[in-house]
Amino acid sequence: MTSLTRATAAAGALVAALGLFTATPATATATPRSALPGDWLHLTVSQGETIAPGSPRALLLCDPPRGTAHAAEACAQLAAADGDIDRIPPKEVFCTMLYAPVTAHASGVWHGHRVEYTRTFSNGCVLSARTGSVFALDA
């Protein structure tokens, strides 16, 4: 009975947390971030050199991995880098030199420590090469 209650409570917390980012921005800030379980990051990717309202966003939860289509890969990469996105080994790919800036932002908690990350990359290919699956928000 206890495990059923814990599972129900965890499911309710997950639904509430995921609902947090489908709400309006004013509502989203009303829920305390410390209520989320385990390691998590609120991710935003925006076209341009700043984070724009309405940019794609997702909540990546890593205990167990969920929230994005590439959550398992992203959580594994973050675990190997101890939650430091800058320490994720870059992929060996060739990216065009087209300048179409994208800005990535991550905010959350990893092993009890606050994570804040904001970087602008020259294009989406460079973003993917430097951050692995962390900001792969599309399916």
Strand locations in 1-139 (E): 40-47, 57-62, 65-66, 102-110, 113-121
pLDDT at 52 over 50: yes
Which pLDDT band holds residue 35 (cuts at 50, 70, 90)?
low
pLDDT recorded at residue 17:
40
The two beta strands, 113-121 and 65-66, are: unpaired
Per the rule left: phi > 0, alpha: psi between -120 and 50, beta: everything else, 34 is: alpha
33-131 carries CATH number 3.30.1390.10: no
Alpha carbons within 13 angstroms on the beta-carbon side of residue 53 total 3
pLDDT recorded at residue 55:
87
Give the residue-averaged pLDDT of 70-96: 95
pLDDT at 45 over 60: yes
Would you say 62 and 71 are in contact if contact means Cβ atoms under 8 Å apart? yes
- Write down the mean pLDDT value for the chain: 80
Would you say 10 and 66 are in contact if contact means Cβ atoms under 8 Å apart? no
**Per-residue CA distances from 65 to 18, 41, 45, 90 (Å):** 13, 11, 19, 21
Specify which residues 106 forms β-bridges with: 43, 117
Give the residue-averaged pLDDT of 90-106: 95
More confident residue, 33 or 1: 33
pLDDT at 84 over 80: yes
